[in-house]
Amino acid sequence: MRQLLTAVNDTNPITIELPGFSEQVLQDESLLFSFLLRLLVANYDTSTEKITIAKAILFLDTAFTNDVQQLLQNFFVDFKLKQDESSFLESFYYLVIVLIYLEFISVDVTGFLEFSISMSAFKEENFNTDPVFKSLQKFLTEKAKSYPKLLNSTTMGTMLNALFFFLLDHNVQIKPLKINVQYTKNFYAANMIIQSLQDVFGSAITFSDRIDLADFIISDSYENAEALQGDFFLFNNIFNPQDWFSLLGSVLQQIYGKTFYKTLHHDCVAKYR
């Protein structure tokens, strides 16, 4: 345990200094306090620091850390998640922090954490999270046979389910909304629209010259074929702030309804997988 907590505290370290305590006691208290801060304070470490800590823990090459790494690799493969080094290491940071807590720390801090999977707001909106959580529970139950020390009756609870829901959510790649711009009143307006939307929505959108492949069509006229699958937005005047306000709102609705995965009344498993 001291070895694990030292690997955590080597980056962005904390040292407690109090009179009347031995050096070893203060070192151990510093390690524990440092670890609990990671568990309780959002983004105490930057993304770069999280990756550095993950690498330091993996470098220990213990049975525990190797099992956590393998469990996470199984998770990425089973749920078909894009596995680049940064996303995997940051996910490892979150997973190993929780598993260290569940496996080794006896201090109960769950009163300070929220990880309920049946929030009242979801019930009011008829948001069916069951398919996602059942899929995650099935994964954890199956992996408990391979990793009995990690996934046992003590650790297999709401906190771990909620963590894997976060890891799934954290690593889902959003499918960009395909937009086609047809603007004829002047030769530069289309480029202005494209650049302005890109500035606001970034990688959540992409642009296509193929109007028949677009999810959303922006035009200054009603001359569009009824057979087109994309929704149509009439953008009348690039110099009118209200037209821009309406356009941004419409694009946001399109992203949420067509490509975002936290939507209501949808098959969540299909969105996540």
Over residues 164-175, the mean pLDDT reads 87
Q: Is 151 exposed, middle or buried (0-12, 13-18, 19+ CB in 10 A)?
A: buried
Over residues 193-221, the mean pLDDT reads 94
| Sheet with 205-207, edge to edge strand ranges | 205-207, 177-182, 216-219, 231-234
Residue 99 near residue 150, CB atoms below 8 Å = yes
Over residues 41-59, the mean pLDDT reads 96
Cα angle: 204, vertex 207, 213; to 5 degrees: 105
Query: For residue range 139-153, what is the model confidence (pLDDT) as tens digits?
Result: 999 999 999 999 987
Cα(156)–Cα(159) distance, rounded to whole angstroms?
8
Over residues 208-215, the mean pLDDT reads 92
Please state, in angstroms and as integers, the Cα–Cα distance from residue 186 to each residue in 192, 193, 223, following that order: 11, 12, 17
- Give the residue from 263, 270, 92, 234 showing the smallest Cα distance to 170: 92
pLDDT of residue 264: 45
Band of residue 242 on the pLDDT scale cut at 50, 70, 90 = very high
123: number of Cβ within 10 Å: 11
State how far Cα 44 lies from the chain centre: 17
Please state, in angstroms and as integers, the Cα–Cα distance from residue 92 to each residue in 28, 68, 96, 164, following that order: 24, 8, 6, 11
Residue 215 near residue 167, CB atoms below 8 Å = no
N- to C-terminal Cα distance for the chain?
35
Band of residue 243 on the pLDDT scale cut at 50, 70, 90 = very high
Lowest mean pLDDT among 85-94, 114-123, 170-179, 251-260: 114-123
